[in-house]
Amino acid sequence: MSGSNPSHQKTGRPQRRRTFLKRAALGVLAVPFLENLPGSLRLLAQDAGLAVTIPGKQGLRILNDRPLNAETPATLLDDLVTPTERHFVRNNGLVPERATTRSLAGWSLRVHGEVDRELNLNLEQLRGFPKHKAALVIECGGNGRAGFFPPATGNQWTLGAVGCSLYEGVLLRDVLNAAGVKPSALYIGYYGEDAHLSGDPKKVAISRGFPIGKALDEHTMLAWSMNGEPLPAHHGFPLRLVCPGWPGSTSGKWLNRIWVRDKEHDGAKMTGSSYRMPKEPVAPGTEVADADMEIIEEMPVKSIITSPGSGIEHAFGTQLALRGHAWSGFGDVASMDVSIDFGAHWVPASLSAPQNRYAWQRWNVAVQFPKPGYYEVWARATDQTGVMQPMLVPGWNPKGYLNNAMHRIAVKVA
């Protein structure tokens, strides 16, 4: 949370209270009891948004319709493997016609650049490589953007731009090794068939990438299947990258080209301030020059409470069962704790091992409240490097990336 806005300081306590409530709703740290909020603010609460029907999806909340971007309420992310119908959607351009018609006619994956031999592989040829299957977290770099103040531009994601689904395909490194990676290779850049919003075929909606070391990592995939089925249209049919542990924007969809480069990739949304953080901490609202920004790589440790939802009433004298997931781009989560007294004391939760590296981990705990009244349950994950989630929104940045503040829910004990 940031300091109060000077324009509100002269209007008295009621206006300051409304400002606080608005920020709390936008930040989705806790929206205690929705009946106390104005109707317009209830729609911004974590589990109170209007569910809009998207073909093949259930319960998602649309943030933008062109391109389509939709998130999942935390209570619908309770499954260990996120069902396809509940996985968030993050698009930068328009879904290509091929993805909606499910046609493979004329499609191939081109691998070129700093390689010994250029490859053009159809899906059948890709299936000839050793197959790989894993449950992997994909999280938008802007997940939690709604919590920043001053606000950052872009889709106002709350907590639901994340999912952990089961992907099947081949390792990117196997394909790159077949092409023969030259010593000069430093980076890869991807291209997909999604159209630019302008309709201009010369413009690219998004073309990001990552260093060759990440491309050759044993977990980075070229996936054609999601949860046992061919990739749905909104998730990249017929082929996508899955670059686990890094921002979801590196997991390019509708893939048809990989360019192995001898320098940092400079495709669309790879330069300027896109998916970059200030090299040094800055005060809220600071304008940061592009030259003072650096590319986001590993995503920070994070957790969510998937059950129960915020604003419940609970009977005094009985235990409240809590559960959720935790994950980190830096490896496994080492421990999970919850607090019911605003961080004064912490209760360790049971934490399961991940199904595989870069899958999220289930946590469970039961708490008992000492007396009736209002409580907040705070959830805090600590990764294997010893880094834990911050209590509040972390360092402000112009694009609203990497908000891994503790998730908290409100409970009325009666």
φ/ψ of 412, rounded to 5, equals -105, 115
Structural contact between residues 77 and 89, judged by C-beta atoms closer than 8 angstroms = no
**Which pLDDT belongs to residue 285?**
96
Q: pLDDT band at residue 4, thresholds of 50, 70 and 90? A: very low
Mean pLDDT of 375-403: 97
Residue-wise pLDDT tens digits, 210-256: 999 999 999 999 999 999 999 999 999 999 999 999 999 999 999 99
Q: pLDDT band at residue 52, thresholds of 50, 70 and 90? A: low
**Which pLDDT belongs to residue 5?**
38
What domains sit in the chain, N to C, each tagged with a CATH number? 84-295 (3.90.420.10), 302-413 (2.60.40.650)
Distance between CA atoms of residues 58 and 51, nearest Å: 8
* Average model confidence (pLDDT) across the chain: 90
Distance between CA atoms of residues 259 and 297, nearest Å: 19
Distance between CA atoms of residues 335 and 346, nearest Å: 12
Asked if pLDDT for residue 3 goes beyond 50, the answer is no
Mean pLDDT of 310-334: 97
Q: pLDDT band at residue 54, thresholds of 50, 70 and 90? A: confident
Mean pLDDT of 73-95: 98
Checking DSSP bridges between strand 162-171 and strand 221-226, what pairing results, if any?
antiparallel
Asked if pLDDT for residue 17 goes beyond 80, the answer is no
pTM score, whole prediction: 0.88
Q: pLDDT band at residue 64, thresholds of 50, 70 and 90? A: very high
Q: pLDDT band at residue 46, thresholds of 50, 70 and 90? A: very low
